[in-house]
Copies of this chain bind each other. A is one copy, B any other.
Amino acid sequence: MEPLHTPSPTESELEILQVLWQQGPSTVRQVNDLLNRRREIGYTTTLKLMQIMLEKGLATRDASGKMHIYQAAVEEASTQQRLLKRFVDTLFRGSASQLVMQALGNHEASSEELDEIKSLIEQMEKQQPK
């Protein structure tokens, strides 16, 4: 039985989704190896997490071969969007621009990226010049 709404991924599940989004369909071993570049985590731990993600509907898998091949079942952009909204709400009282200011102030961004953002802003101002 599948859940009506796919639940929000936990932090560990997000780590795995990152790998699946970037690498495409992967085995448990592949995912676990990548995760271990950042932090130590047991193989069966990753396996269990991915099995849970399957149950939750966050991933699908091809179990025809010996090694099951997992794939993300949620889109990166929409997942980012949903979690971003919650983040902005609980930490920035819903003010996206406040978050943007913080993000730009404390991380480096190349001038190309900055230009990209600027043109996005100009585009938005044209669209709704309220």
Contact = CB atoms under 8 A, between A and B. Distances in A.
Interface stretch (A46-54, A55-63, A67-75, A87-95): A87-95
Contact of A111 (B80, B90, B106, B129): B129
The majority secondary structure among interface residues of chain A is helix
Contacts of A15: 90
Contacts of A91: 14, 18, 79-80, 83-84
Contacts of A88: 103, 107
Given A91-B80, A129-B111, A120 B96 contact: no
A15 B93 CA distance: 10
A126 B122 CA distance: 19
Give the oligomeric copy count.
2
Interface size class of A (residues with CB under 8 A): 35 or more
Nearest to A111: B125
Nearest to A103: B96
Given A11-B90, A87-B87, A97-B113, A106 B130 contact: no
